[in-house]
Amino acid sequence: MTFDWNWNTAWDVLPILLAAFLQVTLVVTVVSTAIAAVLGLIIAMLRRSVPKPVDAVLKFAVDFIRMTPIVVQLLLVFYTFTNLDAITCGIIVFGIHYSTYMAEVYRAGIDAVPAGQWEATTALSMPKGRTWSAVIIPQALRATVPALGNYAISMFKDTPFLIIIGLVELVQAGLVYGGNTFRYTEALTLVGIIFLAASYPTSLLIGRLEKRLAFSY
């Protein structure tokens, strides 16, 4: 009934966990966030530029991806593209899944740019590309940074879903160790602590960033 904690076990498993954290969890989080950030912006811009019926199709696709489980999406991609290794598959699925969330963030950011800005670029006969790159995106992006950061944290906490396609990420590394040694307590508790230690300070940082960005307007 007591909380049976062995420090030797803890020191034994910690390097294994940290290795899985750095080699898989962190890699997927960082690369997928980058993909989601870029792809999300492309989706948001497309949705503003294409004719209504095309936008309706896009919206359905975005909703479909966003409202269905990553776990099943991972299975679908992993078993369909059998030449992809698990980590590449994970990066692609997480990147696409979260791009649908980020597209919404960008859309809100773009909508928040005052109509007068668009009118001014028209009045100055600025070309479309220049309007986006020099006027709209810089203004829209500022407000979206904290939201993107928060989605990066959510993605980080979703990475254990990768277990379903056989990747040994942080949680699976703990489970493997626990299965071999029957010491689940130390392994899984440390896994939780690593998650908390990585995500909590980051979310505090984003909270501060959010306040600073809000003030400087």
**What is the binding site for another protein (CB under 8 A)?**
1-4, 64, 66-73, 75-76, 79-80, 157-161, 163-164, 171, 174-175, 178, 184-185, 188-189, 191-193, 195-196, 199-200, 203
Pick the closer one to another protein by CB: 22 or 76. 76
Pick the closer one to another protein by CB: 135 or 153. 153
Find, among 188, 44, 176, the residue nearest to 112 by Cα: 44
Task: Give the integer Cα–Cα distance in Å for 41 and 99.
Answer: 8
What type of residue is 176? Answer: V
- In Å, what is the CA distance from 157 to each residue of 67, 135, 153? 18, 34, 6
Least Å distance, CB 117 to another protein, is 27
Pick the closer one to another protein by CB: 11 or 60. 60
Least Å distance, CB 171 to another protein, is 5
Contacts of 67-73 spanning 24+ positions with Cβ under 8 A? 70/94, 70/97, 70/158, 70/161, 71/161, 71/164, 73/97
Pick the closer one to another protein by CB: 11 or 79. 79
Task: Give the integer Cα–Cα distance in Å for 175 and 10.
Answer: 14
Q: Which two tokens stand for residue 163?
A: 């277990």
Least Å distance, CB 63 to another protein, is 8
Q: Taking the CA atoms of the chain, what radius of gyration do you get in angstroms?
A: 21
Pick the closer one to another protein by CB: 73 or 144. 73
Helices (H), 81-136: 86-112, 115-123, 128-130
Pick the closer one to another protein by CB: 54 or 76. 76
Task: Give the integer Cα–Cα distance in Å for 29 and 41.
Answer: 18
Least Å distance, CB 9 to another protein, is 13
Least Å distance, CB 144 to another protein, is 17
Least Å distance, CB 11 to another protein, is 18
